[in-house]
Chain A
């Protein structure tokens, strides 16, 4: 097994996070989404996407920042508040990147879509950029590792799985979610950014489940190796 190149100190830290902790962290994030959903009510995303997305962002943001700041790398040198500040800073930057990506892929830019686009990109930032910002800070190697698809083939540590798999899921889900938009079914949910949001959330949830599976599998492999 290729050994983790980041050194033993980090490896030791990483092992402290059990699969159970990871599951709890994911469950907390999920709870944020659930609360937002119950506050907005059924079908709110279709009838008033801007409001529903705002609720999602407001409920999800503190949870994600707190949860992932607790899981931060190198907790001895980096306080909780610093990690949270990194997360807060990462939120608009990630939103900008996501919005740029969406526009490149063909998201409408008309004035009436602006608020929805802003909230959508904030939400996407929470799914993708903020967790990594909280945990990794400005570490280039970690970011590159998190972005790379090689984590699915080679083993890496638990936090990395927790961050990258759901964020990959969210991006791919959003990308797939854009597919029904040009169809002529004339359903209200085909509007930007409703189906893309559905896709992103679905992808994110699948990513969470997948990351837990990968973590457990990884643990087992490590244990077998150790025996």
Chain B
């Protein structure tokens, strides 16, 4: 690689240094690109479609797609509908305030057992809306990579229900979430889409749906109606499940659903437009108590489906609907709940509507949902070739077995097609097993058909029992085939390309080794003389730093440590502090900074624990949080005032420190006044914004609007402007009028001052506290570094060794700050609200940019940009010697290289860990998001270091 080559040209050429970082960035990008291609592969999407005239199956009875059983279908999707929103509270251990709000569904399920049923629907992760909609319509298992597309949903190319409906001439009306129109741009006859990405907006989408839903029910120009409500999802994201807006939303839905059901019932008389309609009320996924979703925990995958048909099926339906989970509701009526896989939804709906099953569907026609529609019980007697009339149940079983026969044939066709067209398909052994199951089931079926009529005549009554048991066996055989294939698909669908993964990993390891080698070389160039002596002094520090990094890296191999990564980082940071204290006590020069740093660690630790309690346990854990204890003591009124005022006071403090710092650090007069005025203005706007947001003071409306909408934009603008000016100053400003040290200090101070207000306002109210922690942490580390330099100076003169412990502490502090600010490494850990500070409407680039600044600002951008301070204070000591410039640049490069190396090592270990754990249960919930965050973080760090080296050198 280029690093050693450019190194040989010697450190005197400051211009050649950025090349090293460019080379590192390039190698890392390549490695991560290769690994990502291997690891995050999408499932091969087959561009094949089912057709009406497919010759399905081999046997009589299943040679064509099943006939339609319902005429019209109303699907009401309530986004992020938890199972316990729908099921009666008696099914759970204790009653929570959000339970039993959808009374109308419970009542219907209790009163009309034969035609209404509550299902627990189990979704597959990733539980984000887009993936779920895709899964619901294609009947497949969308893969992880689609998560990245969630901001700009692409049209679906795979075969799906919407496509089949359009091909069969069914008319579809859609209202609500505009993701549907992005996924299916041409499939709807009529659509009323509303923007879905402003999570702060609880009502726009819902009101739009309400406006169109009831009138549409009276009309006859559609066959399938989809109404997608978003309020519950947004209420969860913003307020959490345990909140008044959530309960209000649920109560509102209860009212709407009651109206819908009444309307359907009134129009369902024989001859009415809804005579043979099925109503489905369903969620696409669940949510945690914080309103997060995306992962694979029980709360997130357990959603609900409620089915009701106005026309009641015969009594025999009760034999099909299992009674395994029944309980009495609050009114003492018995309510039964069934369980189904969300995977089965697409094929079941297709079977009910009588359209061809989507080509890639791997679900099974769900018997209970299939039986709930009265249409599946009709017209049976003439259909079958039995010699004596069968009772309802047997006829239905026959029909269901036929549907399953077609279902199995379709899945088998997909398996064959998929195995032949995809290079890395399923393992041959499993395929053989599944094929075996299929051929057994098929053989059974022809047996059963052959035997029925002959035997029937021969045996009469006695036969009936055996025939129904034959049918039952048949259904079981098909079910076991379909289930075992679904399991196979679930367990094996992530096709890893081990070659690409291996290459990427190898490249990454090589780059880390090369980076380490360059660092060592750089160090030795710096010390031509006295090298051995300095080396001996550095060894304990170096080994401590290395141990810390190694422990942190090794901790990433376990999912528990990844979950508690913030605490691990904090533990290691505290360990390094305590080791420092230990060291200085043995030397007898304990200083106040060390104590402050220890206190800071305690503070950080509570902050991280608070952030993590939001992640794991939700609102229950926050009750024990110190803030709420304080609130209990002083009363909520005091608390509100405190919460509104406190950040602003802190903000003033932060502004004061920043101003004081920038006046001392920036030496060019023009730049200084510019940056100072920019900073003052920005902080004033931030304070204004927070004041406008708080409900304490009553503002005139115009004033409030300015505060909420315009102030943040001003802050962004000022930030961008001062960034541009400092870059221009760097490019065109006088070069040699200042000493290099001062120049670098003022450049990096200008950089920090332009970035910090933007990051601060995006972090929200916690921002000022976080900024304070940041400042104190940096101050402590730099002071301790200075102290270390002083210690060293007594022994060796003219050395310029960067203290590796300081750089490690810097990077650990950055990790702590990431978790402290309420982020964590999953996609629901992104603070979507931050993207809408100052803006109401969603724009992919603008909001994506803000979101990434919020996510990586305090943990990547600020630490990298402030790295020069470590180097500068180190150099201030060395600068009395000759060759100041070389030494300064060298140290600067060393610090950056070391920081990059630490990040690269952790990322490499994350990659190794992901490779090892690729079949782990939590791979999509935990390891893959962690990998994505680390990879982005590494590339961002590399890029920033690259730019920084260009900027400073």
Contacts and interface: CB of A to CB of B under 8 A. Distances in A.
Real binding pair: yes
A103 B609 CA distance: 13
Nearest to A107: B605
A182 interface: yes
Contact of A103 (B561, B582, B602): B602
Contact of A104 (B559, B567, B577): B577
B698 interface: no
Nearest to A168: B582
A140 interface: yes
B560 A184 contact: yes
B2 interface: no
A105 B575 contact: yes
B624 A106 contact: no
Contacts of B574: 104-106
A144 B578 contact: no
A175 B575 contact: yes
Nearest to B586: A148
Interface in B323-369: none
B492 to A, nearest CB: 25
A104 B578 contact: yes
A26 to B, nearest CB: 24
Interface in A101-146: 101, 103-106, 110, 140, 143-144
Nearest to A143: B585
Contacts of A144: 585-588
Contact of B598 (A104, A149, A175): A104
Nearest to A109: B606
Interface string A156-180: 0000000000000000000100100
Interface in B585-609: 585-588, 598, 601-602, 605
A140 B624 contact: no
A23 interface: no
B575 A147 contact: no
B380 interface: no
A105 B571 contact: yes
B578 to A, nearest CB: 6
Contact of A182 (B563, B605, B624): B563
B588 A147 contact: no
B6 interface: no
A102 B432 CA distance: 58
A1 B335 CA distance: 87
Interface in B823-858: none
B568 interface: yes
A12 interface: no
Contact of B571 (A100, A147, A148, A178): A178
Nearest to A182: B564
A9 interface: no
Contact of B601 (A104, A149, A178, A182): A104
Contacts of B602: 103-104
Contacts of A101: 578
Interface string B538-572: 00000000000000000000111101100110110
A143 B559 CA distance: 42
A226 interface: no
Contacts of A103: 602
A224 interface: no
Given A175-B575, A182-B561, A184-B560, A147 B582 contact: yes
A144 B575 CA distance: 19
A144 B77 CA distance: 70
Contacts of A148: 586
A104 B816 CA distance: 14
Contact-residue size bin, chain B (C-beta under 8 Å from the other chain): 20 to 34
Nearest to A150: B586
A183 B560 contact: yes
Nearest to A183: B560
Most buried by B among A106, A143, A178, A184: A106
A106 B577 CA distance: 13
A182 B559 CA distance: 10
Nearest to A184: B560
A194 to B, nearest CB: 17
A196 B586 CA distance: 25
A183 to B, nearest CB: 5
Given A105-B578, A110-B624, A182 B567 contact: yes
A110 B560 CA distance: 22
A90 B598 CA distance: 22
Contacts of B560: 182-184
Nearest to B587: A144
Interface string A68-106: 000000000000000000000000000000001101111
Given A182-B564, A183-B560, A184-B560, A106 B586 contact: no
A73 to B, nearest CB: 19
Contacts of B559: 184
A182 B605 CA distance: 14
A101 B577 CA distance: 10
Nearest to A141: B588
A48 B563 CA distance: 28
Nearest to B581: A101
Contacts of B587: 144
Contacts of A143: 585
Nearest to A140: B588
A181 to B, nearest CB: 9
A225 B575 CA distance: 39
B558 A106 contact: no
B382 to A, nearest CB: 60
Contact of A106 (B563, B582, B585, B605): B605
A127 to B, nearest CB: 16
A196 to B, nearest CB: 12
A52 B568 CA distance: 28
Contacts of A183: 558, 560-561
19 contacts: A104-B577, A104-B578, A104-B601, A104-B602, A105-B574, A105-B575, A106-B567, A106-B570, A106-B571, A106-B605, A143-B585, A144-B587, A175-B575, A182-B560, A182-B563, A182-B564, A183-B561, A184-B560, A184-B563
Given A100-B598, A104-B598, A144-B586, 20 more contacts: A103-B602, A104-B574, A104-B577, A104-B578, A104-B605, A105-B571, A106-B570, A106-B571, A106-B574, A106-B605, A144-B585, A147-B582, A149-B586, A175-B575, A182-B564, A183-B560, A183-B561, A184-B559, A184-B560, A184-B563
Interface of A: 100-101, 103-106, 110, 140, 143-144, 147-149, 175, 178, 182-184
Interface of B: 558-561, 563-564, 567-568, 570-571, 574-575, 577-578, 582, 585-588, 598, 601-602, 605, 624
Q: Lowest 10 A-B CB distances belong to which pairs?
A: A148-B586, A182-B564, A183-B560, A184-B560, A104-B574, A147-B586, A105-B574, A144-B586, A104-B601, A182-B560
